[in-house]
Amino acid sequence: MQVKGVQLASAAANIRYKDRDDLLLISLSDRANVAATFTQNAFAAAPVKIAKQHLAKGNIRGLLINSGNANAATGVAGEEACLQTCEAAAQVLGVSSKQILPFSTGVIGELLPVSPFVQTLAALKPALSEDGWERASKTILTTDTRAKLETTECSLAGQSITITGIAKGAGMIQPNMATMLAYIATDLDVDDVQLSAICCEAVQRSFNSITVDSDTSTNDACVLIATGESELKYTDLSPSEQADVVNTIEALMQKLAQAIIRDAEGATKFITVNVNGGQSEADCRLVAFAIANSPLVKTALFASDPNWGRLAMAVGKAGVTGLEQDRVSIGINGVRMMNAGQLDPSYTEEKGQCALSPKEISIEVDIGMGDCATVVWTSDLSYEYVKINADYRS
C-alpha cells in the first residue's frame, strides 16, 4: 500500500464535523510529478481555481484537503481563505505556498474558516507517514458510509511498482473531467506531459463513466502522482509495458469509481449500463447516460419493476442522430426484453422480475448503428436518497 515518496497525516480540525478527522496533509518527495483533472462546473470552488493556478506553475510538493466545507460560491473572500490555508501548509512543509494544491469538499456557500487549519497543521508534520493511506481515506468523507481505498502492484522490467489510491463521493455525482475527490499515486518515474495524458485517459473510462444523480460537483478533482522513487522510468519501458501501466492505473481508478457507485446515497443496487452498436463512442455515451440518469428508470430499478418501456424512452430521448427504433434491442441480466424495437416474443413479466431481483444489474442495449460501445455505472434511486439530501445541511 505504501508509495515511496508520499507521506500522509490526518487530524480533527473541527472545520464542520466534530470528533472525527477532517483535515488531510499530503507531502510529496522532491522528484514527484503531479497531474490533475478538475470540474468543469461554472461555479468551480475557490480551491479548484487556486489548485489550477498552482499546478500550472509545477513543482508541487504538498496537497491539503478538508472535508465538511466546500468553500464554493464564496467569492474573493473564499479564494483568500484558500490561499491562507496554502500558506499555513507551506510553512509546515518548508515549501512555497504555490507548491501546495488545496482541495475542499462539503457544504457549498459557506466561507472556509482559516483558524482551524492554522491551529491543526503544525501538529500534522510529525505525524506524516507513508502508512497514512487508510486513515486518509476516511478523512475526506462527507455523506459516504465507507472509505474507498485501493492498492495494487505492477511488475515492469523485472521490478515492481506500487499504485495506491483513495476517493470520496456518494452524491452530486456525474463527474466531468474528474470525480468528487480522488488521489492516486505511484512510485514510477513519469514526466509531467506523459502523466497528464495517462491521467486524462484513465479518468475518461473510470470517474467520467459514473453517475448517481447527473450532478457535477463544484469541487470535483482527480490527482495522479508519480514520485519517481522506484528508479524505473516510464520512457524506458517497452510499448507493451507502458500499456500495462496505463491499464493498471485505469483498472484501479475504475475500482474506486465503482466503489463510489456502490456507496451512492440511498443506493440498493449497483447498475452497469452497456451500450453497443454505436457509430461512435460518443453516441453510446449519450444513450448510456440517458438511461443511467433517468429518474423513471432508476426508480423502476429500485422497485425491481421490469418496466422496459422506460428504458426504450431513455434510449429515444438521448439525441443520437439517425437512431432507428426498429434496430434497437434491450435486455437486463441476459433477459431480452426488446428486439428490433418491439417486445421480444420470448419475454415474460416473470422473466423480467427475476432479472431485476439481484442487487447487481446489467442493462444491455444495442442501437444497431455500428461497432462502437461504452459502459457506464450507476445506482438506483430510493426513498433514502431523498431523505439524505433533504437533511444534508441539518
pLDDT at site 303: 97
Do 45 and 216 meet the contact criterion of CB atoms below 8 Å apart? no
54 within 8 A of 79, measured Cβ to Cβ: no
For residue 291, give the amino acid letter: I
Of 120, 139, 151, 179, which residue is the catalytic one? 179
Q: Which residues pair with 101 in a beta bridge?
A: 63
- pLDDT lower than 50: segments of the chain: none
Residue-level pLDDT at 394 = 58
How confident is the model at residue 148, as a pLDDT? Answer: 98
The class of domain 270-390 in CATH terms is alpha beta
The domain locations on the chain are 6-262, 270-390
Return d(Cα 92, Cα 126) in angstroms, integer: 10
Output the pTM of the full model.
0.96
At the fourth CATH level, which superfamily is domain 6-262?
A: L-amino peptidase D-ALA esterase/amidase (3.60.70.12)
Separation in Å, CA 93 to CA 47, 186, 277, 305 = 19, 21, 52, 55
> What is residue 192's predicted lDDT score, i.e. its pLDDT?
96
Question: What's the pLDDT score for residue 9?
Answer: 98
Give residue for cell 468551480: 44
Query: pLDDT per residue over 338-358, tens digit each?
Result: 999 999 999 999 999 999 999
CA distance 274 to 284: 9
Sheet holding 23-28, edge to edge: 6-11, 23-28, 62-69, 100-107
CA terminus-to-terminus distance, the chain: 36
pLDDT at 158: 87
From the list 43, 96, 91, 93, the residue with the least C-alpha distance to 70 is: 43
Kindly compute the dihedral angle of the four CA atoms of residues 252, 177, 66, 380, in this order, to the nearest 10 degrees: -70
Based on C-alpha coordinates, what's the Rg of the chain? Answer: 22
> What confidence score (pLDDT) does residue 391 get?
84
Residue 39 is a catalytic residue: no
